[in-house]
Structure 1
């Protein structure tokens, strides 16, 4: 599997994966997050390829001292094969390389099914909308989003 930064030529394959894994409303929100992040820092938008086919994507961003993971999606035929885990780990590494130690995962109505996956990766559930991981291994107060 090849993990790399998103390229504009990936947009159709990534959009296709989001259509298979998200609601129409969530897909539109994801495209907005993608466009915003690509304009800001394209190093935090990643895709996974297998045999030349894009099979997964994830979007990250940094605000102040916190990194956020959004929009993880893996093609249904490739789920359960480590694609999401590898994308998440690489994105975490890229966020940490920018000096950020605290990472949060945004989970909402369209992505709540990912909560057990992120919990398995070390993000204990702290609310119905955020999972949090602190690279300093210290518990911090839950951050509430409204």
Structure 2
């Protein structure tokens, strides 16, 4: 297993992964945000690959205040509970550190509340969770 930047050739696999693991409402929000992040800063989209198969994806963004956000993470069912999520979170954290973000936050909405224990397992606490009453969105930071 390894984590690498998203490649355009990954798009169909990622769309299938999203449709497999996300609810329909979450899929619609995520695919739109995914496309927007790719146009703004594709380096903040990482994928995990196992035996040449896309196992997971994480989407991050940086806002106007130079804060880094984990937007969405998705891992294929057959690869869940195998360290893929942790590897993706760690990989994106390194990107945020390289970019010298002022703070790293985990965006929280109804769709990703169940996976917060994954973030907690790598050291994030409630102080790192950014809960919004609006839909999560990708912003044009830097």
TM bucket normalised to smaller: 0.7 to 0.9
Q: Name the count of aligned residue pairs.
A: 132
Q: Structure 2: 5+ residue runs without aligned partners?
A: 134-142
Q: Name the structure 2 match of 1:140.
A: none
Across the aligned residues of Structure 1 and Structure 2, the Cα RMSD in angstroms comes to 1.4
Q: Name the structure 1 match of 2:140.
A: none
Q: Name the structure 1 match of 2:35.
A: 35
Q: Name the structure 2 match of 1:138.
A: none
Distance across 2 between alignment mates of 1:37 and 1:19:
18
More displaced, 8-17 or 42-51?
A: 8-17
Distance across 2 between alignment mates of 1:86 and 1:115:
15
Distance across 1 between alignment mates of 2:50 and 2:25:
28
Q: Give 1:123-138 correspondences, 5 Å limit.
A: 123-126=124-127, 132=128
Distance across 2 between alignment mates of 1:124 and 1:59:
19
CA shift digits 1:62-98 (9 cap, x unpaired): 0122100011000000011111100110101001101
1:55 aligns with 2:42: no
1:96 aligns with 2:102: no
CA contact (8 A) 2:109 2:131 kept: no
SS at match of 1:80: coil
The Cα of 1:144 is off from its aligned counterpart by: 5.3
The 3 A distance-change label for structure 1 pair 16 and 97 is same
TM-score (norm 1): 0.84
Distance across 2 between alignment mates of 1:111 and 1:54:
20
Q: Give 1:1-146 correspondences, 5 Å limit.
A: 1-63=1-63, 64-126=65-127, 132=128, 145-146=132-133
SS at match of 1:9: helix
